[in-house]
């Protein structure tokens, strides 16, 4: 099963939703500036239905057919990133080949557009997506960041950039410490929830362990205690409709909290 959690709001929103889900496991409520004394988790102790979430879910647009997911004014329906699958909710269908990715990257005037590849990545699980081409891992890392540590570690495989995640728990403790987390020692490296690559997540016993207050930011910064770790999730359909409204969706009532 594909576990992509794409929303159908826009090109950027569609590709960013999953990345946000991974990053939310350790983002401070200052957006990562490192000034917080704890890492905000963003989930009330109960969801919109009055229960604590028990599995990873994500906000997605409901559908009955792939065409229901296509973004008006975006790339042609059926081409990346406006290619979709419908499993009760919209999920990204991915790219069909390198040529499609070159066309997409060129249209956005992305650096190195001619070298973009259609490649499977651990981050997007079973789905091929358009990624930057490379001759070495150093070409994949964001400018001005340390490419040797989480979350900026990449590999160059098949001339395509792939995120690699964390290497061990010690690295996650160091990363959480750099973000100013008071409970940095509780962070571990592992493949949790939907993620196909190892990520840093805080250990927990209950969802209350993940939340820094009784009122926390909404999706996509929600966290619940799943698999013994604080993982990103949505708490119910009303939350997803509110998020879609904030993102400017034309039909926010169609957005649901979906399990892929």
The whole-number average pLDDT for the span 243-259 is 90
* Mean pLDDT score across all residues of the chain: 75
Q: What is the pLDDT of residue 73?
A: 74
- Of the listed ranges 95-99, 188-192, 212-216, 237-241, the least confidently predicted one is 212-216
Question: Coil, strand or helix: which one is 59?
Answer: strand
Residue 13, pLDDT > 60, answer: no
Task: Give yes or no for a contact between 58 and 17, defined as CB atoms under 8 angstroms apart.
Answer: yes
> What's the rounded Cα separation, in Å, for the pair 117 and 35?
37
Question: Coil, strand or helix: which one is 89?
Answer: strand
Task: Give yes or no for a contact between 172 and 187, defined as CB atoms under 8 angstroms apart.
Answer: yes
- Phi first, then psi: give them for residue 203, nearest 5 degrees: -75, 155
Residue 182, pLDDT > 60, answer: yes
| Cα–Cα separations (whole angstroms), residue 172 to 13, 31, 155, 156, 201 | 27, 17, 19, 23, 8
Question: Coil, strand or helix: which one is 76?
Answer: coil
Tokens of 114: 């001619």
Torsion sign over Cα 5, 6, 7, 13: positive
DSSP state of 62: B
Q: What is the pLDDT of residue 45?
A: 32
Q: What is the pTM of this model?
A: 0.67
Tokens of 90: 């919209």
Q: What is the pLDDT of residue 185?
A: 95
Percentage of residues in the chain having pLDDT higher than 90:
32
- Of the listed ranges 26-35, 121-130, 184-193, the least confidently predicted one is 26-35
- Of the listed ranges 15-24, 100-109, 155-164, 177-186, the least confidently predicted one is 15-24
CB atoms within 10 A of CB 166: 23
């Amino acid at each position: 099963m594909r576990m992509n959690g794409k929303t159908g709001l826009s090109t950027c929103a569609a590709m960013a939703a999953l990345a946000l889900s991974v990053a939310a496991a350790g983002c401070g409520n200052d957006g990562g500036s490192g000034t917080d004394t704890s890492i905000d988790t963003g989930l009330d102790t109960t969801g919109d239905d009055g229960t604590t979430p028990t599995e990873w879910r994500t906000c997605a647009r409901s559908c009955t057919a792939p065409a229901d997911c296509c973004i008006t004014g975006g790339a042609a329906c059926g081409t990346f990133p406006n290619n979709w699958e419908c499993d009760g909710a919209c999920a990204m269908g991915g790219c069909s080949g390198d040529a499609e990715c070159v066309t997409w990257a060129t249209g956005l005037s992305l650096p190195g557009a001619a070298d973009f590849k259609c490649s499977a990545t651990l981050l997007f699980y079973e789905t091929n997506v358009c990624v930057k081409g490379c001759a070495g891992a150093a070409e994949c890392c964001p400018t001005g960041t340390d490419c040797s540590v989480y979350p900026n570690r990449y590999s160059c495989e098949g001339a395509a950039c792939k995120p690699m995640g964390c290497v061990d728990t010690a690295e996650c403790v160091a990363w959480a410490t750099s973000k100013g987390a008071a409970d940095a020692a509780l962070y571990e490296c592992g493949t949790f929830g939907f993620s196909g690559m190892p990520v840093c997540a805080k250990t927990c016993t209950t969802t209350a362990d993940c939340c820094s207050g009784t009122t926390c930011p909404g999706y996509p910064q929600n966290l619940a205690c799943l698999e013994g770790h604080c993982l990103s999730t949505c708490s119910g359909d009303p939350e997803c409709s509110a998020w879609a409204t904030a993102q400017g969706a034309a039909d926010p009532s169609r957005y649901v909290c979906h399990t892929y």
